[in-house]
Structure 1
Amino acid sequence: MKTPDSRFYCPLISVGTIILDENESSHAVRVCRAVNGEILQLCDGLGHYADATITKADAKACEVRVDTVEDAPLKRPRLNLGIACLKDDALEEVVFHAAQTETDSIIFLRTDYSQEPKNSDLKKTVRRAELKSLVSLKQSKKPWMTRIEGPIEFDKWLKDYQGDLILCDIDGERKLDINEGAAENSNATPVTLLVGPEGGFSPREIEAIKTFKNGKVHLLNLGNTRLRARTAAIIALGKVL
């Protein structure tokens, strides 16, 4: 028996017989050409895995048998990405790449210089971003799916937030180790990396971040060149993960 080199999403993994949804069934049977008796790797995005044996290779309702459910060896990540709402498909592009990393959530923030229409609810963008996150979960074979949150007004989010912040700033450090000491602390403080829109956060917002009182504030230097917002997000994640 062989195992297709992909994970398959199953939101409710349990011991026994499971019917995969049509999308996952089609991927397994039509795309991967899986047949009865072969093994599929299931994940639920909540830190659980299972090897499932196909008992009925149906492209619309693939039936599998699970004998054992395993817990991921790693805890849920504590790093989040807060990014200003961007125009076009830039947010989806950021999610597609960032959700392949150990990032707990991505929050869409409405800032002073956000480039999306102020009267937009971004429902379509959020839904497409959620689908990108699901694809990234399976492709990257990580145990936790990156959650998509927002859009939310930056001031409201900052007022309610409890945890540490990382702001990209030319006077910041070139590298940050946010995991130092976290391994021994089961209640490690959440950390949110903040990336503004094209043109950055407004002076008012920068001051609010730097004077934040509900956690530590770290400054991170991304180099000597000016970066697009979507590029800055990925470079910054690479420096702190």
Structure 2
Amino acid sequence: MRSSWRRSTALVLALTVAMLLGLAGMASAAIIDVEITDPNGNKAYVHSGDTVTITAAVRADAGNEIYMRAGVGTGATGSYESVGTATGGTDTFAAHVTLSGTEPEGWKNVSVDVYTGAGPTYSYMSDTNLNAVCVDNTAPVIEPKDQWNPALDCDLPNATSMSIVVDVAEALSGSGIAPATVLATVTGTGSASASLTGDNEVTIGLTGLSLGAHTVTLNLSDRAGNSAVPVSGTVTVTDTLPPVIDDTS
């Protein structure tokens, strides 16, 4: 009886040790962070049909192969990708999602699922704030020149510089105007500059204008790369002052 009890106890201990060793050898995977970039490197702003790259920092036991799948707008879906082998520290891996060509515009949640070659052990993260994706297919619209302030075409009497304020219409789900794309040009002698002075407001500055007609053109794009149709107007510098005769007597 005692011999049977000893054998049973030894067997239980052996199984317990084997289980502990097995658990110790199992890999773990945990998503630490998610960062989104689109194919053009213009973070977070894409079009329907684009392929989005989602990178995740993953910590797992060394030697385990890491598999990832990603999702934009919904939970992670589709097939897992083999994205690399864990080093035992924090590794950065990437998964890819190709959006539907009819993906609705607007801000989207992003998510990734990760598991290791041993396990599998799943870990999930959904990002709904700074690293979300904005799907924007709609180009911004520059208001007509007769709605600029001041409205063009116009005369500029006895002056060589002026400022013009222009509003830009952007879709409610739009990505916003990309400041680096805001460009104003002017023909003839003179120079033009343009900058964002509000979320949807551009101020054009004209300096050094000579007498005569000058064509002013404004162009810009949003952060998703949608280009507005350029709008142009005319500023005509005039001289309305009477001549002055010097008194030489």
Report the TM-score when normalising by structure 1.
Answer: 0.25
Larger proportion of strand: 2
Larger proportion of helix: 1
With a CA cutoff of 8 Å and minimum separation of 6, indicate the structure with the bigger relative contact order.
1
Report the TM-score when normalising by structure 2.
Answer: 0.24
